[in-house]
A and B are shown apart, each in its own frame.
Chain A
Amino acid sequence: SQQGEEDPQALSIQEGENATMNCSYKTSINNLQWYRQNSGRGLVHLILIRSNEREKHSGRLRVTLDTSKKSSSLLITASRAADTASYFCATVRSNDYKLSFGAGTTVTVRA
């Protein structure tokens, strides 16, 4: 069963704008991760945030985590056409390494 739910399901923005997507989950977690998928094939790990962290940055990516609300957000700043992809959040519970994925947000960046 899916642990995370992304919102929105789809997002279309102009190049240069920021893209924000949210993820909600149900059970306690050890960490939460975001992945990107191009063309329906392999996923690429973007960023990992641990349950005791509130915010993390990596290049143009900013991730927040609110464990009291069981939610996370991914912000992509100054978007580029190459950011067009599906983005998935995934959670790890405290007792194993198994990732539970949400259904993803499809982001389209228009040139």
Chain B
Amino acid sequence: GAGVSQSPSNKVTEKGKDVELRCDPISGHTALYWYRQSLGQGLEFLIYFQGNSAPDKSGLPSDRFSAERTGGSVSTLTIQRTQQEDSAVYLCASSLEGRFWNGYTFGSGTRLTVV
């Protein structure tokens, strides 16, 4: 597509429920990243999918967080048993790799509120 698409744009969920956040990267972008941003803070790296390589999961804050990328395209970030501290904006980005790499294109994010 023309840009990175994220859905839903807003999600309110009850504590303890599971949520799934979706990211549709730019067609042809082999790299996909998830970050989260708490209110007034910088971006915290979560996970990075690079082509066919094993993902870099080093930023996932707990085993309640997982992500997958099917067919090298769409990615889903799943948070199980949500907690109030999970409330944040979850941002997805994609990019080319190699010598064509020129920074990220971000989606508009999913604002998650856990009540």
Contact = CB atoms under 8 A, between A and B. Distances in A.
Q: Could you say which interface size class chain B belongs to?
A: 20 to 34
With most chain B CB atoms within 10 A of its CB, the pick from A96, A97, A98, A100 is A97
Nearest to B107: A42
Interface in B99-115: 101-109
A32 B4 CA distance: 22
A99 B43 CA distance: 9
A25 interface: no
A100 B45 contact: yes
Nearest to B43: A101
A79 interface: no
A104 B42 contact: yes
A96 B45 CA distance: 13
Interface of B: 4, 31, 33, 35, 37, 39, 41-43, 45, 48, 50, 56, 89, 91, 93, 95, 97, 101-109
The 10 closest A-B pairs by CB, nearest first: A103-B42, A101-B43, A45-B103, A42-B106, A42-B108, A43-B106, A101-B42, A41-B108, A41-B109, A33-B103
A34 to B, nearest CB: 9
15 contacts: A35-B104, A40-B39, A40-B89, A41-B89, A43-B91, A45-B105, A48-B102, A48-B103, A96-B48, A97-B95, A97-B97, A98-B48, A99-B33, A99-B104, A103-B42
Interface residues of A, number: 21
Contacts of A99: 33, 43, 45, 104
Contacts of B43: 43, 88, 90, 99, 101
A18 interface: no
Contacts of B31: 97
